[in-house]
Structure 1
Amino acid sequence: MNENEWILEQLNQALQTTDDYYERTLIKACQDMLTEQAKRIDQMEGEMEGTIWSPKRWSE
């Protein structure tokens, strides 16, 4: 289990235990942010790898 999965699991547990609307909204926003951040990191890693192997972009 990586760090992101652990954090998301903890947030999910917190979401299950609270009935407060504002807490639930904040927890959901944190979950969405972490998920989006992980997606963007993955995309950037793919872009970097693609650039490394692309002779067209070596001169940039």
Structure 2
Amino acid sequence: MAMNKNTVLAWATTIMIIVGLCLIGLGAFRYNDIAGWGFAAVGGGFFCIAWVFNALKGRV
């Protein structure tokens, strides 16, 4: 199975979305105090980076 640049970006996007969901879940359910806002913000950042990776597919 050969992995080209688009396949690597697709896997990176998928992993970033999963990690982002986990961080938002931690912020929402595990840490209900101020630290939860930080976890949710970092999870949102992971979504933004995943969006950029998805936009780069086919252009790199």
Asked if the contact 2:20/2:44 (under 8 Å) is kept, the reply is no
Runs (4+) of structure 1 exceeding 4 A deviation are none
Corresponding position: 1:27 with 2:52? no
Distance across 1 between alignment mates of 2:21 and 2:54: 20
**Larger-gyration structure (1/2):** 1
Structure 1 residues without counterparts, runs of 5 or longer:
49-60
Choose from 7, 17, 31 the match for 2:30: 17
TM-score by length of 1: 0.56
Instruction: Give aligned pairs, total.
Output: 45
CA RMSD of aligned residues (A): 1.8
